[in-house]
Amino acid sequence: MRNFKALLDAVPSQIDGMLETLQEMKNGSEPDDTADYWEERKKINQNTSDLKNCRDKIDGFQTVY
């Protein structure tokens, strides 16, 4: 159980790091089709949404746990 709690404590900061990376990628996907990540922008938005959802669930689970 201690290992599980340690994992729950570590994951939110790891998710925050991934969200920062995705934000940088999103910035690189604009303003038009000449941008570095133009073709990946839909996937970037989906990954961002998924990670925020995951983080919210982990936060809620930590409260219950």
Position with higher pLDDT, 37 vs 64: 37
The DSSP string of the chain is -HHHHHHHHHHHHHHHHHHHHHHHHHHTT-SSTTSTTGGGHHHHHHHHHHHHHHHHHHHHHHHH-
Q: Which of 8-12, 23-27, 50-54, 57-61 has the lowest mean pLDDT?
A: 57-61
What pLDDT digit, counting tens, does each position of 12-21 carry? 999 999 999 9
**pLDDT value at 35 more than 90:** no
**pLDDT value at 63 more than 80:** no
Mean pLDDT, the chain, rounded, equals 88
